[in-house]
Amino acid sequence: MKIFQQDPELAKFYQSELERQRTTLEMIPSENFVSEAVLEALGGVGTNKYSEGYPGQRYYGGNQYIDQIENLARDRAKQLFGVDHANVQPYSGSPANQAAIFSVCKPGDKVMGMSLLFGGHLTHGWKVNFSGVYYNAVQYQTGPDGILDYDELEKLVKQERPRVLFCGATAYPRLFDYKRIAEIVHSVDGYFIADIAHECGLMAARVIPTPVGHADIITTTTHKSLRGPRGAMIMCNGKTSHPLKPLTEDEPMRENLPTLIDRAIFPGLQGGPHNHTTMAIAVALGEALQPDFKIYAQQILNNSKALAASLMNEGLNLATGGTDNHLMIIDLTNLGIGGKEAELALEEIGITANKNTIPFDKRKPFDPSGVRLGTPALTTRGFKEDEMTMIGQLIAKTLKNTKNETVKDEIKKAVLEMTSKYPLYPDLKYV
């Protein structure tokens, strides 16, 4: 590899990261492994080109082929999700959410989202984030059982009358009723933004319901269950976009959301798009359009159900009592340990997870009462239900023996044996 020839010190670090990924069970639900084709696109010559604007409306010359790449990515996104319009330029999920708010709100407008402590995302109105600083943020939460109470949400929406309501989460293991949420938000003439970053691959494969047809705006990352690069998209329905032409006063906003979204991305918030990422997004979307992607997405769900059942059979408690999607949260309260200790113990035996709050958590956010797990990355490697059952047993044994080094050493050997059966990027090396 040329990296090693030019910078051997750096190459060694990267080789170590590759080996870490190969020899651990990656169970953070927001992480996945891209195909070698996506990796190739990310390292391509698109990174050399400036392309401010949109296809056919650039501020730089020499974009005739970049235009074709971006149009292909947009067309594939529209086909895959069944929408009229897709913007593939957001640099990542947080900038996409920023642009979505910026497209329909003015500073100080009311933004409502699920509280971070109950599974929501920073960019949905959390107090230290831009969405909670530059906008009037109101947060909603789940019921005592950890499940969203739509009647309570309706009462809060009618009381607060938000300009925007975010639906979507980073740590909510249940499905959302998008039709009900749309009815609630639209009853106060608000905009419904669905952030599907976590579940977008499952929605693309139609193995769980989508917000298309209910949400006004849909935002998503491309690097989680969609199995693409670290980028994002914003999608909506509406008239054909004219991104560099301002709306006139007689053009209704809801019918012209494509224009508002595109203008929010550029020139509103971003400069030139990352063309190498756009190409990698196009590759990932092309993969998701293939029949075997639906099989993959269904396997994510099957594995999640099997893992949840295994954990509960071992006496562990799960927030909300289970899962409907790709993730779950172990409630560690009955084990007498915190999320920080659990995360570290799992990492020591070769399982990567992350500490997380549980609903109505009595512990502090930096050492909460839960640990979050997901199945997309292991499903990509080829793991199925039997292995997930075994992994659930290993996790339970680890969390019950966080101070027993002998037990943890035995579990670590079992993890290494499992990972060796499912090679990751076998031909790739940096040193």
Q: Is 135 a catalytic residue?
A: no
Task: Report residue 241's pLDDT band, with 50, 70 and 90 as the boundaries.
Answer: low
**Residue 4 belongs to a domain:** no
pLDDT of residue 252: 77
What share of the chain in percent tops pLDDT 70?
99
Q: Which of 76, 224, 227, 408 is catalytic?
A: 224
Considering the domain architecture, whether residues 247 and 298 belong to the same structural domain is answered as: no
Q: Is 50 a catalytic residue?
A: yes
Q: Which of 24, 123, 142, 221 is catalytic?
A: 221
- What is the token pair recorded at 121? 């995302």
**Residue 402 belongs to a domain:** yes
Considering the domain architecture, whether residues 182 and 317 belong to the same structural domain is answered as: no
CATH classification at residue 318? 3.90.1150.10
Residues 6+ apart with CB under 8 A from 265: 87, 89, 90, 99, 234
For residues 140 and 156, the answer to whether their CB atoms sit within 8 Å is: yes
Q: Is 31 a catalytic residue?
A: no
Q: Which of 52, 160, 177, 348 is catalytic?
A: 52
CATH classification at residue 95? 3.40.640.10
Considering the domain architecture, whether residues 113 and 161 belong to the same structural domain is answered as: yes
Task: Report residue 304's pLDDT band, with 50, 70 and 90 as the boundaries.
Answer: very high
Q: Is the pLDDT of residue 211 over 80?
A: yes
Query: Tokens 């059942």 identify what position?
Result: 309
Q: Which of 58, 161, 180, 230 is catalytic?
A: 230
In the chain, the number of structural domains is: 2
Q: Which of 26, 70, 195, 216 is catalytic?
A: 195
Q: Is 251 a catalytic residue?
A: no
Considering the domain architecture, whether residues 260 and 344 belong to the same structural domain is answered as: no
Considering the domain architecture, whether residues 263 and 347 belong to the same structural domain is answered as: no
Indicate the pairing of strand 351-352 with strand 25-26.
parallel
Considering the domain architecture, whether residues 273 and 340 belong to the same structural domain is answered as: no
Final residue of a domain: which of 245, 260, 288?
Answer: 288
Q: Is 296 a catalytic residue?
A: no
Considering the domain architecture, whether residues 344 and 272 belong to the same structural domain is answered as: no
Considering the domain architecture, whether residues 80 and 177 belong to the same structural domain is answered as: yes
Considering the domain architecture, whether residues 172 and 259 belong to the same structural domain is answered as: yes
Q: Residue 349 belongs to what domain range?
A: 294-420
- pTM here is 0.96
Considering the domain architecture, whether residues 139 and 237 belong to the same structural domain is answered as: yes
**Residue 219 belongs to a domain:** yes
Query: Which DSSP string corresponds to 103-167?
Result: HH--TT-EEEEE-GGGT--GGGT-TTSHHHHSSEEEEE---TTSS--HHHHHHHHHHH--SEEEE
Q: What is the C-alpha separation between 351 and 397, in angstroms, rounded? A: 13
Average pLDDT value for residue range 112-140: 96
Q: Give residue 215's identity as a one-letter amino acid code.
A: A
Q: Is 400 a catalytic residue?
A: no
Q: With the C-alpha atoms ordered 169, 119, 400, 313, is the resulting torsion angle positive or negative?
A: negative
Considering the domain architecture, whether residues 98 and 144 belong to the same structural domain is answered as: yes
**Residue 167 belongs to a domain:** yes
Q: Which of 22, 49, 50, 400 is catalytic?
A: 50
Q: Is the pLDDT of residue 245 over 90?
A: no
Residues 6+ apart with CB under 8 A from 162: 110, 111, 112, 138, 185, 188, 190
In this structure, the number of other CB atoms found within 10 A of the CB of residue 321 comes to 15
Considering the domain architecture, whether residues 307 and 356 belong to the same structural domain is answered as: yes
**Residue 204 belongs to a domain:** yes
Phi, psi of 111 (to 5 degrees): -120, 130
**Residue 32 belongs to a domain:** no
